[in-house]
Structure 1
């Protein structure tokens, strides 16, 4: 086994949670080269993985929106780069038309994808010469590791390893800040995933009383307006300026705590081993959540709005060790 291509094109949280597949492959096949095909919008994130040898990027999203000649030329150039090597295996852990087309265009006689019932778009099946087993029940992120292992003939071992190394910031975030910083990722891609602004205010006030400085990133004018509403009611809270994906990642890495809904940057916080609380309102925590003992946790049932008390208890959990948490909550320590 000399060279493998992973195809996972979007989005931020999904790519973050697919990264442990790289460490699994490198453990199973020492010395193997692992390349990754991603949309240009998320390629920098893949570059942060210390295990990825080559990142193939194409402005697929941008071309779909603007249909510009320059973007089409960039896509053609990326195809030429894609075909520069022959791969022993291509692993498509995305399962839609665009990922299947990438897999088909790359040079390999072994292109592995999901079974038809597990594909995001069933027509993607045209590209594959082999299939994963049925998608495992339970956590989707572990399922990707299982599927890649099935395709390449190894067993998944141990917890997920993300192996991220961020570029150094020109100016370190929160330089000179004495208080611990808590970032609130209140914004979501869909309104039904939102947690009420009044709940964010309540949690923000409690953290402010505990000595935290609350910061609020945003990605659109509407998200900024909501961040300003929260900040206006939380002592010492700050609405951050517009930032790139890299700048947001560097900001997360400088935080003592990250609280947010089921969004990509909260998954990134977990991967960066920050103390993380993920709130689920309309999506499944058992399928898409994050868990790491006394560091990351997911709350909610995916069908209703979790109360403020549940978030505060989760914050206590990620800031405690097993013994102190057990004593605090009247249970025997593990």
Structure 2
């Protein structure tokens, strides 16, 4: 095995959680070159992984929104780049039309994809010369690794290795104002409204974290998220409303943090991948299927059927908050002081 292409186009959390497949392949096939095909919006994440030899990308989302001539030319150029290499195997671990088309356009005679029942879009099956084994009912992130290992015949080793190296930025927005206290980031925004947690719940968590001795920062990415973050900070003035930041800027902020609390969104998955203390709140999706679970480091709360309560989330914070933070004893809560 000399050259492998992984196709995982979107979204942010999925691309992050698929990164351990690269380390698995490099370990199983010493010297193998691993390339990655992604949407331009998420290609930056794949470039953070030094184990990936080449990142192929095109503005698929951008073209869908704008239908611009520039985006079309960029897509056409990416097709030429895609066909410039011959892969021993193409692994489509996405399973929708756009990932299938990318797989089909390669010059590989071995293109593997999911069984029809496991595809996001069943019509994607046209692109494959072979299929993965049926997926077991396991966590989605472990399932991706298991799928590829069974297809290529190598054993999995634990733990998962994400191998992400976030570049340093001269950008002043790369981190929150520092005052010596540990940083907690609250990711309140989500791609869908049904994934969002109530504002008053965030207020209670922010107040609790401040009592524990953290400085609390709230990022945002859209005008709606800015309004939501402003509503939280209005009730918790000691919290910091951050300026709008780049993807890499927020990643650096996470790298410099001590604790991340957020809903089911890509940045919280990134925090887990960077081995930060992480609490993820699930409201409309399944924590068992999409969550992160590492004792005393990553906790996922909620079952996808209800809105998790404040107390449940604070208990999860207690669980990952096993070591005292660097803050004056007078500013810490009882649970923090006892950690």
The reply to whether TM is greater than 0.5 is yes
1:176 positional shift: 4.0
Alignment of 1:70 with 2:67, yes or no, is no
Aligned to 1:221: 223
Superposed, 1:141-220 pairs within 5 Å as: 141-170=141-170, 171=172, 173-174=175-176, 176-220=178-222
SS in 2 for 1:155: coil
Q: Deviations over 1:87-135 (max 9, x none)?
A: 0000000000000000000111100000001000000000000000111
Aligned to 2:49: 49
TM-score (norm 1): 0.94
SS in 1 for 2:221: coil
Aligned to 1:103: 103
Q: Distance in 2 between matches of 1:276 and 1:49?
A: 21
1:221 positional shift: 0.8
Q: Distance in 1 between matches of 2:50 and 2:140?
A: 23
| 1:320 aligns with one of 306, 311, 322 | 322
SS in 2 for 1:232: helix
1:192 positional shift: 1.3
Aligned to 2:82: 82
| 8 Å Cα contact 2:187-2:219 kept in structure 1 | yes
Superposed, 1:277-316 pairs within 5 Å as: 277-316=279-318
Q: Distance in 2 between matches of 1:101 and 1:253?
A: 35
Alignment of 1:25 with 2:33, yes or no, is no
| 8 Å Cα contact 1:87-1:108 kept in structure 2 | yes
Superposed, 1:200-279 pairs within 5 Å as: 200-279=202-281
1:184 positional shift: 0.5
Q: Structure 1 stretches of 5 or more lacking a match?
A: 322-327, 329-334
- The list of structure 1 runs, each at least 4 consecutive aligned residues, that deviate by more than 3 angstroms after superposition, is none
| 8 Å Cα contact 2:278-2:320 kept in structure 1 | yes
Alignment of 1:13 with 2:8, yes or no, is no
Q: Distance in 2 between matches of 1:320 and 1:203?
A: 17
TM-score (norm 2): 0.93
SS in 2 for 1:278: strand
Q: Distance in 1 between matches of 2:112 and 2:150?
A: 10
| 8 Å Cα contact 2:176-2:242 kept in structure 1 | no
SS in 1 for 2:235: coil
Q: Distance in 2 between matches of 1:156 and 1:47?
A: 24
Q: Structure 2 stretches of 5 or more lacking a match?
A: 324-334
1:177 positional shift: 2.5
Q: Distance in 2 between matches of 1:287 and 1:101?
A: 27
Residues 192, 176 of structure 1: CA spacing in aligned structure 2 closer, same or farther, 3 A cutoff? closer
| 8 Å Cα contact 2:176-2:217 kept in structure 1 | no
| 8 Å Cα contact 1:174-1:254 kept in structure 2 | no
Q: Deviations over 1:155-177 (max 9, x none)?
A: 21212110000111214524643
Residues 33, 185 of structure 1: CA spacing in aligned structure 2 closer, same or farther, 3 A cutoff? same
